[in-house]
Chain A
Amino acid sequence: MSLKFEPRREIPAWLVYGTPLLAVALTILSGYFLFMILGLNPGATLYIFLVSPLETQFGLAELAVKAGPLILIATGLAIGFRANVWNIGAEGQLTMGAIFGAGIALAFWGEEGFWILPLMFVAGALGGMMWAAIPAFLKTRFEVSEILTSLMLTYVATLVLSILVHGPWRDPEGFNFPQSRLFTEAAILPVILEGTRLHAGAFVSLFAAVAAWVLLTHTVTGFQVKVVGQAPMAARFAGFSQKGTVWFSLLLAGALAGLAGMIEVAGPIGQLTPQLTPGYGFTAIIVAFLGRLNPLGIILAGLVMAISYIGGENAQVYAQLPQAATGVFQGMLLFYLLASDFLVRYRVRFQSTKARDAKPRPEVAAA
């Protein structure tokens, strides 16, 4: 007997929409037992985890604050992943975007001007693009794996940030503490909802995701990206440029990640600090796959991810759940969602070795 996975030729609609619900149900069930073993009231803890983030205006705004950068970055990454371009270094591109954006904010510190924020947006996107251009160049010119180069450049970016906040960009009135001055008003994204942290960045994310969806489904460029990813040979015959696609998807992902970084420093943080993000660039990879590499799915996936983070914090605050336990719960949610997604696309078959030898079928390796 052996275990085989074979792709389903047709995927029934009820399965596509039903499995995420099943995954959530399984998470709730497992969470129930997890919290019970920990000696907590399982029902109340689940409520805190999954519902409490949605109950207040502040909570909803925080959801947008947390999901915003994830959606923005994941959208860029998904387009690359569709084209088989594996940009793992969004965290570094985000950091560079934040540095470039902050550079503008600090250069015009204390000055008024409606043009400062737009300039920061442009600088942030350029910073991310510049950082993503390095793996793109190395890939197209020397065939160097973009997985390695983009990932390693993340550490370089973090160190560049560290040099700046410990050195030239350190707050002169900050007692040598490694952080920049607080940006002045002209360089801060306005808060949209009084009493919360909801800022204009959330709309940038939403707009980017919808635009990316239009790009993928309604334009030749989007078609090209998908063909290059799924059938490189066919793409070549069609005259689609492989190198052009590598450049396009890396630069786009870099720009969006850079924007996300700039929005973080101009929004919730308000200054340049040595630690800018809790790993948004890496979490966004999960979000991209959770959203099935579809920008509209990514919006949902980003929100789910944000709920699990904020719910985890709430569970610590209100139920004294240890942080490790919130991590376990979050891991279960992701595991069930991704596993069910896999089972939607592939059928599990048990078959004897003989039968397999006799009748070859289209197979994939168990991934």
Chain B
Amino acid sequence: MLNRRQFGLSVAGTAAALGVGPMVGRAIAADKLKVGFVYVGPVSDHGYSYQHDLGRKHVAEHFGDRVETTYVENVAEGPDTERVINQLAAGGCGLIFTTSFGFMNPTLKVAQRFPKVKFEHATGYKRAANVATYSGRFYEGRTVCGLIAGKLTKSNIIGYIGSFPIPEVVSGINAFTLALRSVNPQAQVRVVWVNSWYDPGKEAAAAKALIDQGADILSQHTDSPAPIQEAEARGIYAFGQSSDMSRFGPKAHLTSIVDDWTPYYIQRVQAVLDGTWKSEDYWGGLATGTVILPPFNPSIPEDVRALATKAVEDIKSGALHPFTGPIKDQSGKVVVAEGKTATDPEILSMAYYVEGVQGTLPK
């Protein structure tokens, strides 16, 4: 019965909000900020949604009595999305984080209906006066992984499991490949698209196919630990995604690209409490702690570890930019000239493979 008290509070809020509408909801939000979260997957996915929920828990811990959090998990991207977001707003949430790309248009529609509620949409590109966007520079982590892979691969074939061919994922593949070939020009990357963010069955099948094609290191941009488990079973290496996946393959797991939303969530909740919240586009990376790499596998040799650690430091300080020219696409055309670095808009709309990626990008 631990939850009783907490529950009594939220029911009082519910009855008021449901009975008398959003006006009362706002009155409640005035003394206690209600923060809502919408997740695309289950909080138990051990990946993307799990990390967002970890951020929510830290927010609840950090602010204690000043904030109340609530979430809805496994929300399908489709006709139901808008209702869920609307329920949160009508239920008195003053700040709502919608954490999947597919929630973009529904978020904007609800935001129009509730101009006083603040919305934060992850990984999208549409903003409004009360809709901010935020995302992570995951490609920075990919650069570090690429360096490690280049040093460790023996077959010179790296398997890469992709979700959807969108810029976020494509830029990750490219950053990985550029770093990989900077230390090992012979290495190639093979990509398999599974067209899902979370599908353990498909991810495992893709991992098997890539290993059968000779890949001795796997990288993934999908959220389940299935590829790590497959790599562990077959005795090869792999990089985890979103959360620290070392427990799913202690031998295979080299490192993971962990999304840590806690600093950003705390900062934004604080801004709403202070009344300083503004609609912005936030894109945090290694330097802001949005992207972190958990401890490297002890089996990684000392020199490779030093190389990776230096890369992390250089990216943080700005001395190293993952997309530094000359960068050539698959056809050999120079896309980023020598001495230049890719701009943020260029990274955010990346729709080509760099040299070293095999296969063609689905168009």
Tell whether, in the assembled complex, residue B36 and residue A317 are in contact, meaning their CB atoms are under 8 Å apart: yes
Partner of B14, one of A52, A176, A264, A322: A52
Question: A14 CA to B41 CA in the complex, in Å?
Answer: 45
Question: A40 CA to B125 CA in the complex, in Å?
Answer: 39
Contacts of B19 in A (CB 8 A): 55
Cβ < 8 Å to A, chain B residues 63-114? 70-74, 76-80, 82-84, 86-88, 90-91, 101-102, 105, 113
Tell whether, in the assembled complex, residue A166 and residue B78 are in contact, meaning their CB atoms are under 8 Å apart: no
Partner of A44, one of B11, B70, B71, B83: B11
Question: Which of A167, A318, A319 counts the most B-chain CB atoms under 10 A from its CB?
Answer: A318
Is A195 part of the binding interface, using a Cβ–Cβ cutoff of 8 Å?
Answer: yes
> Per-position contact with B for A66-101: 1 when CB-CB < 8 Å, else 0?
100000000000000000000000000000000000
Partner of B78, one of A48, A56, A275: A275
Chain A residue nearest in CB terms to B19 = A55
Chain B residue nearest in CB terms to A43 = B11
Chain A residue nearest in CB terms to B14 = A318
Contacts of A39 in B (CB 8 A): 1-4
Instruction: Using A39-B1, A39-B2, A39-B4 as known contacts, say yes or no to A55 and B78 having CB atoms under 8 A apart.
Output: no
Is B334 part of the binding interface, using a Cβ–Cβ cutoff of 8 Å?
Answer: no
Question: A262 CA to B251 CA in the complex, in Å?
Answer: 50
Tell whether, in the assembled complex, residue B349 and residue A175 are in contact, meaning their CB atoms are under 8 Å apart: yes
Tell whether, in the assembled complex, residue A317 and residue B70 are in contact, meaning their CB atoms are under 8 Å apart: yes
> Per-position contact with B for A165-181: 1 when CB-CB < 8 Å, else 0?
01100000001111100
Is A341 part of the binding interface, using a Cβ–Cβ cutoff of 8 Å?
Answer: no
Tell whether, in the assembled complex, residue A55 and residue B18 are in contact, meaning their CB atoms are under 8 Å apart: yes
Tell me the count of chain B residues lying within 8 A, CB to CB, of chain A: 50
Q: Which of B159-167, B305-313, B322-330 contacts A (4 or more CB under 8 A)?
A: B159-167
Contacts of B275 in A (CB 8 A): none
Contacts of B292 in A (CB 8 A): none
Category for how many chain A residues contact B: 35 or more
Question: A302 CA to B7 CA in the complex, in Å?
Answer: 30
Tell whether, in the assembled complex, residue A65 and residue B79 are in contact, meaning their CB atoms are under 8 Å apart: yes
Question: A273 CA to B104 CA in the complex, in Å?
Answer: 12
Is A313 part of the binding interface, using a Cβ–Cβ cutoff of 8 Å?
Answer: yes
Chain B residue nearest in CB terms to A327 = B74
Question: A58 CA to B114 CA in the complex, in Å?
Answer: 13
Number of A-B contacts (CB under 8 A): 125
> Per-position contact with A for B127-142: 1 when CB-CB < 8 Å, else 0?
0000000000000000
Question: A322 CA to B8 CA in the complex, in Å?
Answer: 17
Contacts of B125 in A (CB 8 A): 175
Contacts of A175 in B (CB 8 A): 125, 166-167, 348-349
Is B341 part of the binding interface, using a Cβ–Cβ cutoff of 8 Å?
Answer: no
Is B170 part of the binding interface, using a Cβ–Cβ cutoff of 8 Å?
Answer: yes
Instruction: Using A273-B78, A318-B13 as known contacts, say yes or no to A40 and B83 having CB atoms under 8 A apart.
Output: no
Question: A162 CA to B91 CA in the complex, in Å?
Answer: 35
Tell whether, in the assembled complex, residue A58 and residue B90 are in contact, meaning their CB atoms are under 8 Å apart: yes
Is B362 part of the binding interface, using a Cβ–Cβ cutoff of 8 Å?
Answer: yes
Question: A124 CA to B195 CA in the complex, in Å?
Answer: 26
Is B351 part of the binding interface, using a Cβ–Cβ cutoff of 8 Å?
Answer: yes
Contacts of A146 in B (CB 8 A): none
Query: How near does chain A come to B276, taking the closest CB pair, in angstroms?
Result: 27
Contacts of A179 in B (CB 8 A): 102
Question: A269 CA to B103 CA in the complex, in Å?
Answer: 11
Is A217 part of the binding interface, using a Cβ–Cβ cutoff of 8 Å?
Answer: no
Question: A58 CA to B20 CA in the complex, in Å?
Answer: 12
Question: A237 CA to B70 CA in the complex, in Å?
Answer: 64
Question: A270 CA to B73 CA in the complex, in Å?
Answer: 23
Tell whether, in the assembled complex, residue B105 and residue A271 are in contact, meaning their CB atoms are under 8 Å apart: yes
Tell whether, in the assembled complex, residue B78 and residue A270 are in contact, meaning their CB atoms are under 8 Å apart: no
Instruction: Using A44-B7, A177-B166 as known contacts, say yes or no to A197 and B82 having CB atoms under 8 A apart.
Output: yes
Query: How near does chain A come to B267, taking the closest CB pair, in angstroms?
Result: 24
Query: How near does chain A come to B36, taking the closest CB pair, in angstroms?
Result: 7
Is B185 part of the binding interface, using a Cβ–Cβ cutoff of 8 Å?
Answer: no
Task: Show 7 A/B contacts (Cβ-Cβ < 8 Å), sorted by A.
Answer: A39-B1, A44-B14, A175-B167, A273-B102, A318-B13, A319-B10, A323-B72
